[in-house]
Structure 1
Amino acid sequence: MCIVERLLMFENTGRSAPKPHKLYAVRGFPAEHMLAAPQPMEWLEFNEYMPPVSTRVITFETVCAGGFEGLHMHLQVQCDAENVVDSWRERTTWTCTYVRLLEQPLSLPAAALIECTCTVDASTHCPAYSVAVRVKKDREAPWEHVTEYSWDGDG
């Protein structure tokens, strides 16, 4: 097994776990481990003006109860109406990234909200990324700050 497969095996068996606030290259992340449908963290339109710094707020709704501990990030490129490159669903030269944000998983019910405020500073040759995470366990609950994490480039 490659290092990525061993990391996932260790995570599932409890013999080891990824460290919080560290990026990991992953392939074949199981869809059943996703708590919510994917959404774009960074949206680039190459035919339009792209600001050097952008912030995007993404709200995920959990589709099932489970433990939230991090984010799975992958590249998706819409080339034209028919052609899409998706580094999660198919093997490409781009590797998906997993960042474990919490030491212990945060138990969330189905229909909980996870809000990620993602900022990208692309004003230099090495973009800087940050994400701040809040959760709302139900619609009536207040937002609860969970964590923040920053990294440069691909980590």
Structure 2
Amino acid sequence: MRHPFQITAVAVIVATVMIPAISPSESRAGRFAASTASCARNNSGTEAEELGCALAAERRSAAVLEDALAHTLHAANAIDRQYSDAISSSRPPSLVDALRSSQESWRRYALTQCQLEGATSFGGGGTDILAARCQSRLNLRRAAELRATADLISR
């Protein structure tokens, strides 16, 4: 039987490879996939080692997410400025404001979803591991969403 971390790590690796990278996060995404694979190969360690791997993956996925957010904010800001200059009689809707609102809503969702997933350990030692894996997974999904949004904005 496969250990749950192997399944999660494989899913994260697949998601990282399938997500089109944008500069400068391209190298960060590659490092994320390599280090996640290393944790998956060495998952026969202690609970503390598994937690260390899960937390490290969470930190790396957060960096990938922040890169994607910065890229998307840059694209949204450029379009907001361009649109504002073209139409001076009325204030157009702000893509930056909409993106910030969306991101804040997503952060609240991710927090509560990962608390729920961690709670499935019923207070056991795996709570933090499950929550960190969840956050890593959701960070990578959100990064992909943000990249798609940046592509939509820049079309």
Instruction: Flag the structure with higher strand content.
Output: 1
TM-score (norm 2): 0.26
Larger radius of gyration: 2
Q: Which has the higher contact order (CA 8 A, sep 6+)?
A: 2
Instruction: Flag the structure with higher helix content.
Output: 2
